[in-house]
């Protein structure tokens, strides 16, 4: 079975979410749980590091859509970084680059938060 793992770490005034493995309808609930926990703790500045994410389907994309409104409503954001090309292509097909900030490097995304 394709594994999925999500780890979180604090960085300045933001939290980095490191995604590993395969994000599909089976594993999306794990990501949903992590978002819910962060938001429950009042953490709204979130950088998602896709560096080690090998696969995403619409079930995974749906999780980012589900939480962005609440996060932005609390003056935060979900910024996406370090995507492999094949993962970026899926986001791109659905028009995410118009609605989310997507960075080549997670440090760029963190700088945006830390300069606020």
Partner 1 sequence: MKRADKIENKRIFKSTTTALSEVRQFVEDNALSFGFGEKEVSEITLAVDEACTNVIKHAYQSDPNFEFEVRITAGGIEFQVVVRDWGAGFKPEEVPVPNIKGKIGRHKAGGLGIFLMRKLMDSVEFQGRETMNEVRLIRYLKNEPKP
x-or-dash string of contact with partner 1, 17-56, rule CB under 8 A: -----x-xxx----------------------------x-
Should residue 61 be labelled a site residue for partner 1 when binding is judged by CB under 8 A? yes
Instruction: In angstroms, give the least distance from the CB of 82 to partner 1.
Output: 18
Should residue 66 be labelled a site residue for partner 1 when binding is judged by CB under 8 A? yes
What are the tokens at 76? 């935060």
Instruction: In whole angstroms, give the CA distance from residue 103 to residue 40.
Output: 26
Instruction: In angstroms, give the least distance from the CB of 22 to partner 1.
Output: 7
Instruction: In whole angstroms, give the CA distance from residue 22 to residue 29.
Output: 12
Instruction: In angstroms, give the least distance from the CB of 97 to partner 1.
Output: 11
Spatial contact of 55 and 23, defined as CB atoms under 8 Å apart = yes
Helix (H, G, I), strand (E, B) or coil at 52: strand
Instruction: In whole angstroms, give the CA distance from residue 16 to residue 47.
Output: 5
> Where does this chain bind partner 1 (CB under 8 A)?
1-2, 22, 24-26, 55, 57-59, 61-62, 65-66, 68-70, 86, 90, 93-96, 99
């Amino acid at each position: 079975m394709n594994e999925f793992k999500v780890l979180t770490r604090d960085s300045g005034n933001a939290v980095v979410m490191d995604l590993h493995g395969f994000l599909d309808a089976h594993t999306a609930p794990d990501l949903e749980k992590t978002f819910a926990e962060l938001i429950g703790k009042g953490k709204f500045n979130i950088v998602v590091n896709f560096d080690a994410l090998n696969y995403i389907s619409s079930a995974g994309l749906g999780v980012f859509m589900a939480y962005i409104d609440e996060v932005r409503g609390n003056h935060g954001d979900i910024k996406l970084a370090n995507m492999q090309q094949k993962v970026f292509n899926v986001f791109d097909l659905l028009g995410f680059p118009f609605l989310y900030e997507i960075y080549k490097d997670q440090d760029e995304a963190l700088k945006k938060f830390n300069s606020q």
